[in-house]
Structure 1
Amino acid sequence: MARDNFNVLDITRIIGGILFFNALLSYWFTSSTTWGYHGKYIDWRYWHNKILEPELHLSLTELSSYTGNDNGQILLAINGSVYDVSSNRAVYGPKGSYHGLVGKDAARVFVTGCFMNPDEYTYDLRGLDEKECERDIRGWQRFFETHRDYWYVGRVNLTFDFSNEDPPSPCEHMKFPGHS
Protein backbone atom coordinates (compact mmCIF):
# COMPACT_ATOMS: atom_id res chain seq x y z
CA MET A 1 0.00 0.00 0.00
CA ALA A 2 1.48 3.37 -0.99
CA ARG A 3 1.65 6.16 1.54
CA ASP A 4 0.05 9.41 0.49
CA ASN A 5 1.64 11.73 3.01
CA PHE A 6 5.03 12.36 4.53
CA ASN A 7 5.74 11.93 8.19
CA VAL A 8 8.40 13.56 10.32
CA LEU A 9 10.88 10.74 9.72
CA ASP A 10 10.63 11.17 5.94
CA ILE A 11 11.21 14.91 6.20
CA THR A 12 14.17 14.33 8.52
CA ARG A 13 15.70 11.87 6.04
CA ILE A 14 15.31 14.32 3.15
CA ILE A 15 16.85 17.23 5.08
CA GLY A 16 19.63 14.97 6.38
CA GLY A 17 20.38 13.77 2.84
CA ILE A 18 20.52 17.31 1.50
CA LEU A 19 22.87 18.37 4.31
CA PHE A 20 25.06 15.32 3.77
CA PHE A 21 25.42 15.89 0.03
CA ASN A 22 25.97 19.62 0.59
CA ALA A 23 28.83 18.81 3.02
CA LEU A 24 30.22 16.22 0.58
CA LEU A 25 30.21 18.68 -2.32
CA SER A 26 31.67 21.38 -0.10
CA TYR A 27 34.50 19.10 0.96
CA TRP A 28 35.12 18.09 -2.68
CA PHE A 29 35.51 21.72 -3.81
CA THR A 30 36.97 23.47 -0.74
CA SER A 31 38.41 20.76 1.56
CA SER A 32 35.97 22.06 4.17
CA THR A 33 32.49 20.73 4.93
CA THR A 34 31.24 24.29 5.42
CA TRP A 35 32.37 25.86 2.13
CA GLY A 36 35.35 27.42 3.91
CA TYR A 37 33.35 29.21 6.62
CA HIS A 38 34.89 29.02 10.11
CA GLY A 39 32.86 31.55 12.11
CA LYS A 40 30.76 31.54 15.25
CA TYR A 41 27.61 30.21 13.52
CA ILE A 42 29.16 26.73 13.23
CA ASP A 43 30.71 26.80 16.71
CA TRP A 44 28.67 24.63 19.09
CA ARG A 45 29.60 26.91 22.02
CA TYR A 46 27.85 29.83 20.33
CA TRP A 47 24.59 27.92 19.95
CA HIS A 48 24.89 26.39 23.41
CA ASN A 49 25.24 29.89 24.83
CA LYS A 50 22.39 31.34 22.74
CA ILE A 51 19.90 28.52 23.29
CA LEU A 52 20.70 26.72 26.53
CA GLU A 53 22.53 29.22 28.70
CA PRO A 54 20.91 32.30 30.12
CA GLU A 55 22.76 35.59 29.81
CA LEU A 56 25.65 35.64 32.28
CA HIS A 57 25.63 38.10 35.17
CA LEU A 58 29.07 37.98 36.77
CA SER A 59 30.92 39.78 39.49
CA LEU A 60 34.46 40.93 38.76
CA THR A 61 35.73 38.07 40.93
CA GLU A 62 33.75 35.52 38.92
CA LEU A 63 34.92 37.06 35.64
CA SER A 64 38.55 36.70 36.75
CA SER A 65 38.27 32.89 36.53
CA TYR A 66 37.57 32.97 32.76
CA THR A 67 41.12 33.44 31.50
CA GLY A 68 41.65 30.18 29.64
CA ASN A 69 44.40 29.06 32.02
CA ASP A 70 42.51 25.81 32.60
CA ASN A 71 41.67 25.48 28.86
CA GLY A 72 38.20 26.74 29.73
CA GLN A 73 36.21 29.64 28.43
CA ILE A 74 38.00 32.95 27.78
CA LEU A 75 35.96 36.06 28.50
CA LEU A 76 36.78 39.74 28.33
CA ALA A 77 34.63 42.70 29.28
CA ILE A 78 34.33 46.23 27.99
CA ASN A 79 32.42 48.66 30.18
CA GLY A 80 30.20 45.92 31.60
CA SER A 81 29.56 43.92 28.40
CA VAL A 82 31.15 40.44 28.42
CA TYR A 83 32.33 38.67 25.26
CA ASP A 84 33.48 35.10 24.63
CA VAL A 85 36.81 35.13 22.79
CA SER A 86 37.62 31.45 23.42
CA SER A 87 37.83 30.69 19.71
CA ASN A 88 41.05 32.70 19.44
CA ARG A 89 43.33 31.14 22.07
CA ALA A 90 46.43 32.14 20.14
CA VAL A 91 45.63 35.81 20.84
CA TYR A 92 43.66 35.78 24.12
CA GLY A 93 44.87 32.53 25.71
CA PRO A 94 47.60 32.22 28.36
CA LYS A 95 50.43 32.67 25.84
CA GLY A 96 48.58 35.24 23.70
CA SER A 97 49.60 38.83 23.19
CA TYR A 98 46.25 40.14 24.48
CA HIS A 99 45.91 37.77 27.44
CA GLY A 100 46.08 40.76 29.80
CA LEU A 101 42.61 41.84 28.60
CA VAL A 102 40.79 38.68 29.65
CA GLY A 103 39.18 37.91 32.97
CA LYS A 104 38.60 41.59 33.73
CA ASP A 105 36.86 44.69 32.49
CA ALA A 106 39.68 46.65 30.88
CA ALA A 107 37.58 49.39 29.26
CA ARG A 108 40.26 52.02 29.91
CA VAL A 109 42.95 50.27 27.86
CA PHE A 110 40.51 50.01 24.94
CA VAL A 111 40.24 53.80 25.02
CA THR A 112 43.91 54.67 25.60
CA GLY A 113 45.75 51.75 23.99
CA CYS A 114 48.36 51.94 26.78
CA PHE A 115 49.18 48.26 27.23
CA MET A 116 52.45 48.86 29.05
CA ASN A 117 50.84 50.69 31.96
CA PRO A 118 49.26 48.22 34.44
CA ASP A 119 47.00 51.00 35.78
CA GLU A 120 45.19 51.03 32.43
CA TYR A 121 43.71 47.53 32.87
CA THR A 122 40.63 48.83 34.65
CA TYR A 123 37.13 50.05 33.91
CA ASP A 124 37.91 53.31 35.75
CA LEU A 125 37.55 55.99 33.06
CA ARG A 126 38.17 58.99 35.28
CA GLY A 127 40.44 61.57 33.73
CA LEU A 128 39.59 60.61 30.14
CA ASP A 129 37.51 62.60 27.66
CA GLU A 130 33.89 61.46 28.00
CA LYS A 131 33.06 61.68 24.28
CA GLU A 132 36.24 59.81 23.37
CA CYS A 133 35.38 57.06 25.88
CA GLU A 134 31.85 56.68 24.58
CA ARG A 135 32.96 56.57 20.92
CA ASP A 136 35.85 54.15 21.48
CA ILE A 137 34.00 51.83 23.84
CA ARG A 138 30.99 51.58 21.53
CA GLY A 139 33.33 50.92 18.63
CA TRP A 140 35.06 48.06 20.42
CA GLN A 141 31.77 46.62 21.66
CA ARG A 142 30.46 46.68 18.10
CA PHE A 143 33.70 44.98 16.95
CA PHE A 144 33.26 42.08 19.38
CA GLU A 145 29.50 41.76 18.77
CA THR A 146 29.82 41.60 14.98
CA HIS A 147 33.07 39.61 14.78
CA ARG A 148 32.66 36.23 13.12
CA ASP A 149 34.42 34.41 15.98
CA TYR A 150 33.36 36.33 19.12
CA TRP A 151 29.99 36.86 20.74
CA TYR A 152 28.23 38.64 23.58
CA VAL A 153 27.52 36.43 26.61
CA GLY A 154 26.36 38.78 29.35
CA ARG A 155 27.17 41.51 31.84
CA VAL A 156 29.65 42.04 34.62
CA ASN A 157 28.45 43.96 37.65
CA LEU A 158 30.69 46.98 38.05
CA THR A 159 30.89 49.20 41.09
CA PHE A 160 31.89 52.76 40.41
CA ASP A 161 32.87 53.68 43.95
CA PHE A 162 36.40 54.93 43.41
CA SER A 163 36.27 57.44 46.29
CA ASN A 164 39.13 55.73 48.17
CA GLU A 165 41.36 55.44 45.09
CA ASP A 166 43.31 57.90 43.01
CA PRO A 167 42.51 57.94 39.28
CA PRO A 168 44.88 55.89 37.13
CA SER A 169 48.04 57.72 36.19
CA PRO A 170 47.76 59.38 32.78
CA CYS A 171 49.41 57.81 29.78
CA GLU A 172 50.14 58.89 26.24
CA HIS A 173 47.25 57.54 24.17
CA MET A 174 48.36 54.88 21.73
CA LYS A 175 45.31 54.03 19.64
CA PHE A 176 44.75 50.67 18.01
CA PRO A 177 45.06 50.69 14.21
CA GLY A 178 41.82 51.87 12.67
CA HIS A 179 40.61 53.73 15.76
CA SER A 180 40.99 57.45 16.24
Structure 2
Amino acid sequence: MTAFNPSAWESSQWFIFVLCGIILLGFFGILASQPSKKPIQKPPVSNRIRRPPKLFTLEELRAFNGENGKPIYIAVQGPFDEAPTVFDVSRGREFYGPGGPYHVFAGKNASRGLAKTSTDPDDVEGPLDDLSESQKDALSQWYLRFMEKYENIGHLKVEDVANVKKSD
Protein backbone atom coordinates (compact mmCIF):
# COMPACT_ATOMS: atom_id res chain seq x y z
CA MET A 1 0.00 0.00 0.00
CA THR A 2 1.30 3.42 -0.90
CA ALA A 3 1.45 6.09 1.66
CA PHE A 4 -0.43 9.34 1.35
CA ASN A 5 1.82 11.93 -0.31
CA PRO A 6 0.55 15.49 0.42
CA SER A 7 2.81 17.16 -2.16
CA ALA A 8 1.39 15.02 -4.99
CA TRP A 9 -2.16 15.86 -3.86
CA GLU A 10 -1.39 19.61 -3.76
CA SER A 11 0.25 19.61 -7.18
CA SER A 12 -2.72 17.82 -8.74
CA GLN A 13 -5.09 20.39 -7.17
CA TRP A 14 -3.02 23.22 -8.67
CA PHE A 15 -3.02 21.50 -12.04
CA ILE A 16 -6.84 21.21 -11.99
CA PHE A 17 -7.17 24.83 -10.80
CA VAL A 18 -4.91 26.14 -13.60
CA LEU A 19 -6.64 23.94 -16.19
CA CYS A 20 -10.10 25.24 -15.14
CA GLY A 21 -8.78 28.83 -15.29
CA ILE A 22 -7.50 28.33 -18.83
CA ILE A 23 -10.80 26.80 -19.91
CA LEU A 24 -12.78 29.71 -18.39
CA LEU A 25 -10.52 32.31 -20.02
CA GLY A 26 -10.96 30.60 -23.37
CA PHE A 27 -14.73 30.48 -22.93
CA PHE A 28 -14.93 34.19 -22.03
CA GLY A 29 -12.58 35.02 -24.91
CA ILE A 30 -14.94 33.29 -27.34
CA LEU A 31 -17.92 35.17 -25.89
CA ALA A 32 -16.11 38.50 -26.10
CA SER A 33 -15.20 37.95 -29.74
CA GLN A 34 -18.82 37.43 -30.80
CA PRO A 35 -20.27 40.41 -32.71
CA SER A 36 -22.67 42.57 -30.73
CA LYS A 37 -26.35 42.30 -31.52
CA LYS A 38 -26.89 46.09 -31.74
CA PRO A 39 -29.28 47.15 -34.50
CA ILE A 40 -27.65 48.64 -37.57
CA GLN A 41 -28.24 52.38 -37.65
CA LYS A 42 -28.89 54.13 -40.92
CA PRO A 43 -26.65 57.10 -41.73
CA PRO A 44 -28.27 60.55 -41.89
CA VAL A 45 -30.34 61.08 -45.01
CA SER A 46 -27.92 63.64 -46.48
CA ASN A 47 -25.00 61.21 -46.41
CA ARG A 48 -26.81 58.86 -48.78
CA ILE A 49 -26.99 60.30 -52.25
CA ARG A 50 -29.69 58.20 -53.86
CA ARG A 51 -29.47 59.80 -57.27
CA PRO A 52 -26.35 60.70 -59.16
CA PRO A 53 -25.28 64.20 -58.05
CA LYS A 54 -26.41 66.91 -60.43
CA LEU A 55 -24.86 70.24 -61.35
CA PHE A 56 -27.46 72.99 -61.26
CA THR A 57 -27.45 76.44 -62.78
CA LEU A 58 -29.10 79.15 -60.71
CA GLU A 59 -31.89 79.26 -63.30
CA GLU A 60 -32.51 75.49 -62.96
CA LEU A 61 -32.49 75.76 -59.18
CA ARG A 62 -35.16 78.49 -59.21
CA ALA A 63 -37.68 76.03 -60.69
CA PHE A 64 -37.56 73.92 -57.50
CA ASN A 65 -39.33 76.30 -55.15
CA GLY A 66 -42.14 73.98 -54.04
CA GLU A 67 -44.84 75.68 -56.06
CA ASN A 68 -47.23 73.56 -58.15
CA GLY A 69 -46.22 70.44 -56.19
CA LYS A 70 -42.56 70.62 -57.24
CA PRO A 71 -39.78 69.56 -54.87
CA ILE A 72 -37.98 72.23 -52.84
CA TYR A 73 -34.24 72.64 -53.31
CA ILE A 74 -31.95 75.03 -51.47
CA ALA A 75 -28.25 75.63 -52.11
CA VAL A 76 -25.97 76.25 -49.13
CA GLN A 77 -22.25 77.04 -49.25
CA GLY A 78 -20.14 74.61 -47.24
CA PRO A 79 -17.02 75.75 -45.41
CA PHE A 80 -14.66 73.78 -47.67
CA ASP A 81 -16.70 73.47 -50.87
CA GLU A 82 -15.90 75.33 -54.05
CA ALA A 83 -19.57 75.55 -54.98
CA PRO A 84 -22.71 75.48 -52.81
CA THR A 85 -24.32 72.11 -52.12
CA VAL A 86 -27.92 71.65 -53.27
CA PHE A 87 -30.23 69.99 -50.75
CA ASP A 88 -33.70 68.55 -51.26
CA VAL A 89 -35.63 70.10 -48.36
CA SER A 90 -39.04 68.88 -49.52
CA ARG A 91 -39.48 67.03 -46.21
CA GLY A 92 -39.57 70.46 -44.57
CA ARG A 93 -42.34 71.75 -46.85
CA GLU A 94 -44.13 73.40 -43.91
CA PHE A 95 -41.05 75.62 -43.44
CA TYR A 96 -39.70 76.05 -46.98
CA GLY A 97 -42.84 75.56 -49.08
CA PRO A 98 -45.29 78.22 -50.24
CA GLY A 99 -46.63 80.11 -47.24
CA GLY A 100 -43.87 78.78 -44.97
CA PRO A 101 -41.69 81.13 -42.91
CA TYR A 102 -38.55 80.24 -44.91
CA HIS A 103 -40.07 80.02 -48.40
CA VAL A 104 -37.85 82.97 -49.37
CA PHE A 105 -34.93 80.47 -49.49
CA ALA A 106 -36.70 77.95 -51.75
CA GLY A 107 -35.10 77.47 -55.16
CA LYS A 108 -32.18 79.76 -54.32
CA ASN A 109 -28.60 79.84 -53.15
CA ALA A 110 -29.63 80.81 -49.62
CA SER A 111 -26.09 81.01 -48.25
CA ARG A 112 -26.04 84.77 -47.69
CA GLY A 113 -29.46 84.86 -46.04
CA LEU A 114 -28.61 81.94 -43.75
CA ALA A 115 -25.28 83.54 -42.80
CA LYS A 116 -27.02 86.80 -41.96
CA THR A 117 -29.93 84.91 -40.33
CA SER A 118 -32.24 87.05 -42.41
CA THR A 119 -35.38 86.25 -44.35
CA ASP A 120 -35.36 89.66 -46.03
CA PRO A 121 -35.52 88.87 -49.79
CA ASP A 122 -32.72 91.41 -50.41
CA ASP A 123 -30.40 89.47 -48.05
CA VAL A 124 -31.06 85.94 -49.32
CA GLU A 125 -28.77 85.81 -52.35
CA GLY A 126 -25.52 87.56 -53.04
CA PRO A 127 -21.79 87.47 -52.47
CA LEU A 128 -20.24 86.01 -49.34
CA ASP A 129 -16.99 87.99 -49.49
CA ASP A 130 -18.21 90.73 -47.16
CA LEU A 131 -19.55 88.46 -44.39
CA SER A 132 -18.14 88.85 -40.88
CA GLU A 133 -16.44 85.93 -39.13
CA SER A 134 -19.51 85.34 -36.95
CA GLN A 135 -21.72 85.27 -40.06
CA LYS A 136 -19.35 82.76 -41.71
CA ASP A 137 -19.55 80.63 -38.55
CA ALA A 138 -23.36 80.83 -38.65
CA LEU A 139 -23.31 79.71 -42.30
CA SER A 140 -21.08 76.74 -41.39
CA GLN A 141 -23.54 75.74 -38.67
CA TRP A 142 -26.46 75.96 -41.11
CA TYR A 143 -24.53 73.85 -43.63
CA LEU A 144 -23.90 71.14 -41.03
CA ARG A 145 -27.57 71.19 -40.04
CA PHE A 146 -28.63 70.73 -43.68
CA MET A 147 -26.08 67.89 -44.11
CA GLU A 148 -27.56 66.08 -41.12
CA LYS A 149 -31.20 66.60 -42.01
CA TYR A 150 -31.62 66.72 -45.79
CA GLU A 151 -30.51 64.83 -48.85
CA ASN A 152 -27.53 66.22 -50.74
CA ILE A 153 -28.51 66.06 -54.41
CA GLY A 154 -25.76 68.05 -56.12
CA HIS A 155 -24.00 71.39 -56.42
CA LEU A 156 -24.39 74.72 -58.14
CA LYS A 157 -22.17 75.26 -61.14
CA VAL A 158 -19.05 77.15 -60.13
CA GLU A 159 -19.47 79.61 -63.01
CA ASP A 160 -22.90 80.66 -61.69
CA VAL A 161 -21.52 81.23 -58.20
CA ALA A 162 -18.64 83.30 -59.62
CA ASN A 163 -21.07 85.38 -61.71
CA VAL A 164 -23.17 86.20 -58.63
CA LYS A 165 -20.04 87.38 -56.80
CA LYS A 166 -19.05 89.64 -59.73
CA SER A 167 -22.50 91.06 -60.51
CA ASP A 168 -23.45 92.05 -56.95
Interval containing the TM-score (normalised by the shorter chain): 0.5 to 0.7
| Aligned residue identity for 2:108 | K
Question: How far 1:119 moved relative to its partner?
Answer: 2.0
Aligned length: 117
Distance in 1 separating the partners of 2:122 and 2:129: 12
* 1:79-128 superposed Cα distances (whole Å, 9 cap, x missing partner): 21111110121111112111000101021111112223x32111412322
Taking every aligned residue pair, what percent have the same amino acid on both sides? 26
Question: CA separation of 1:90/1:132 partners in 2, compared to 1, >3 Å: closer, same or farther?
Answer: same
Counterpart selection for 1:75 from 73, 76, 81:
73
Instruction: Tell me, yes or no, if structure 1 residue 87 matches structure 2 residue 86.
Output: no
Query: Which structure has greater helix proportion?
Result: 2
Relative contact order (alpha carbons < 8 A, sep ≥ 6): 1 or 2 greater? 2
Secondary structure of residue in 2 paired with 1:82: strand
Question: How far 1:134 moved relative to its partner?
Answer: 3.5
Distance in 1 separating the partners of 2:71 and 2:104: 15
| Aligned residue identity for 1:64 | R
Question: CA separation of 1:97/1:61 partners in 2, compared to 1, >3 Å: closer, same or farther?
Answer: same
| Aligned residue identity for 1:153 | I
Question: CA separation of 1:57/1:113 partners in 2, compared to 1, >3 Å: closer, same or farther?
Answer: same
Secondary structure of residue in 2 paired with 1:126: coil
* 1:29-48 superposed Cα distances (whole Å, 9 cap, x missing partner): xxxxxxxxxxx76xxxx8xx
Please say which structure displays the higher CA radius of gyration: 2
Secondary structure of residue in 1 paired with 2:68: coil
Instruction: Tell me, yes or no, if structure 1 residue 50 matches structure 2 residue 49.
Output: yes
Question: How far 1:72 moved relative to its partner?
Answer: 1.7
Distance in 1 separating the partners of 2:161 and 2:59: 12
* TM-score of the aligned structures, taking structure 1 as reference length: 0.57
Segments of 5+ residues of structure 2 without an aligned counterpart are 1-43, 78-83
Matches within 5 A, 1:18-29: none
Question: How far 1:62 moved relative to its partner?
Answer: 0.2
* TM-score of the aligned structures, taking structure 2 as reference length: 0.61
| Aligned residue identity for 1:106 | A
Instruction: Tell me, yes or no, if structure 1 residue 140 matches structure 2 residue 138.
Output: no
Give the CA RMSD over aligned residues.
2.5
Segments of 5+ residues of structure 1 without an aligned counterpart are 1-39, 166-180
C-alpha contact 1:92 1:98 (8 A) present in aligned 2 = yes
| Aligned residue identity for 1:143 | R
Secondary structure of residue in 2 paired with 1:100: helix
Question: CA separation of 1:164/1:103 partners in 2, compared to 1, >3 Å: closer, same or farther?
Answer: closer
